[in-house]
Amino acid sequence: MAEWFHPLLALAVAVFAALSAALGLPPLAAFLAGGLVVLLAVPVARRLADSAAVPLSDPPRDPAHPPPAAPDPGRALLERLPAPLLVIARNGCIAYANPAAHAALPHVEPGAHFAHLIRAPDFVAAVTATLVDGEERACRFTTFDGSERHFEARVGLLPADPAFGTDRRAIVQLEDRTEPHKAEQLRSDFIANASHELRTPLASVIGYIETLQHHARHDPEARERFLGIMAREAGRMQRLVDDLMSLSRIEMSEHLRPVEVWSLNGIVTECVSALQPIAGQQGVDLLLELDPQDCRVAGDRDQLSQVFTNLIDNAMKYGGPGGSVRVLTAPPSRAHPNRCGITVADTGPGIAREHIHRLTERFYRVNVSHSRNKGGTGLGLAIVKHILNRHKGRLEITSKPGEGSRFTVWLPRAASGDVAQPPPPPDPGEAKPLGM
What string of pLDDT tens digits covers the 436 residues of the chain? Answer: 444 444 444 444 444 455 455 445 454 444 444 544 444 444 544 554 454 444 444 445 454 544 444 446 666 777 788 889 999 998 999 999 999 998 888 888 889 999 988 889 999 999 999 999 989 999 999 988 777 889 999 999 987 665 555 577 899 999 999 888 888 877 777 777 777 778 878 888 888 888 888 887 888 888 888 888 888 888 888 888 888 888 888 888 888 888 899 999 999 999 999 999 999 999 999 999 999 999 999 999 999 999 999 999 999 988 878 889 999 999 999 999 999 999 999 998 999 999 999 999 888 877 765 566 666 778 889 999 999 999 999 999 999 898 899 999 999 999 865 555 555 555 544 444 444 4
Which residue, 238, 239, 344, is CA-closest to 289?
344
pLDDT value of position 87: 92
* CA count, 13 A, side-chain hemisphere, 399: 29
Same domain (yes/no): 415, 348: yes
Contact assessment for residue 68 and residue 52, using Cβ atoms and an 8 Å cutoff:
no
Contact assessment for residue 144 and residue 128, using Cβ atoms and an 8 Å cutoff:
no
Same domain (yes/no): 204, 141: no
Same domain (yes/no): 27, 44: yes
57 assigned to some structural domain: no
DSSP-assigned letter for residue 93: B
Q: Which of 202, 225, 249 is the last residue of a domain?
A: 249
Contact assessment for residue 37 and residue 18, using Cβ atoms and an 8 Å cutoff:
no
Q: How far apart are CA 11 and CA 48, in angstroms?
A: 14
Same domain (yes/no): 244, 262: no
2 assigned to some structural domain: no
1 assigned to some structural domain: no
Q: How far apart are CA 42 and CA 82, in angstroms?
A: 62
Backbone angles phi, psi at 50, to 5 degrees: -65, -40
Contact assessment for residue 262 and residue 301, using Cβ atoms and an 8 Å cutoff:
yes
Same domain (yes/no): 421, 310: yes
301 assigned to some structural domain: yes
333 assigned to some structural domain: yes
pLDDT value of position 31: 42
In the chain, the N- to C-terminal Cα span, in Å, equals 105
Same domain (yes/no): 166, 196: no
Which residue, 381, 332, 340, 376, is CA-closest to 358?
381
Amino acid, single-letter form, for residue 126: A
Same domain (yes/no): 160, 216: no
pLDDT value of position 2: 46
Question: How many C-beta atoms lie closer than 10 Å to residue 371's C-beta?
Answer: 21
Question: How many C-beta atoms lie closer than 10 Å to residue 325's C-beta?
Answer: 28
Same domain (yes/no): 320, 366: yes
pLDDT value of position 32: 41
In Å, what is the CA distance from 114 to each residue of 6, 127, 156?
66, 9, 15
The DSSP bridge pattern shows strands 137-144 and 405-412 to be: unpaired
The SS3 assignment for 341 reads strand
Which residue, 248, 244, 250, 186, is CA-closest to 390?
250
Which residue, 375, 344, 350, is CA-closest to 271?
344
Q: How many domains does the chain have?
A: 4
Contact assessment for residue 387 and residue 307, using Cβ atoms and an 8 Å cutoff:
yes
pLDDT value of position 126: 94
Same domain (yes/no): 317, 378: yes
Q: How far apart are CA 19 and CA 22, in angstroms?
A: 5
Contact assessment for residue 17 and residue 30, using Cβ atoms and an 8 Å cutoff:
yes
> 153: domain range?
75-176
Question: How many C-beta atoms lie closer than 10 Å to residue 196's C-beta?
Answer: 10
CATH label of the domain that carries residue 411: 3.30.565.10
Q: Which of 176, 206, 237 is the last residue of a domain?
A: 176
56 assigned to some structural domain: no
Same domain (yes/no): 375, 334: yes
Contact assessment for residue 275 and residue 236, using Cβ atoms and an 8 Å cutoff:
no
pLDDT value of position 48: 46
Same domain (yes/no): 266, 399: yes
Q: How far apart are CA 413 and CA 358, in angstroms?
A: 28
292 assigned to some structural domain: yes
Same domain (yes/no): 43, 85: no
Q: How far apart are CA 379 and CA 201, in angstroms?
A: 16
Sign for the CA dihedral angle at 304, 305, 308, 309 comes to: negative
377 assigned to some structural domain: yes
pLDDT value of position 46: 52
Q: How far apart are CA 6 and CA 46, in angstroms?
A: 8
pLDDT value of position 199: 82
CATH label of the domain that carries residue 194: 1.10.287.130
DSSP-assigned letter for residue 428: G
In Å, what is the CA distance from 23 to each residue of 34, 35, 105, 107?
14, 18, 84, 87
Q: Write down the pTM of the prediction.
A: 0.57
CATH label of the domain that carries residue 146: 3.30.450.20
Cross-strand bridge partners of residue 165: 161
Q: Which of 225, 249, 273 is the last residue of a domain?
A: 249
pLDDT value of position 378: 81
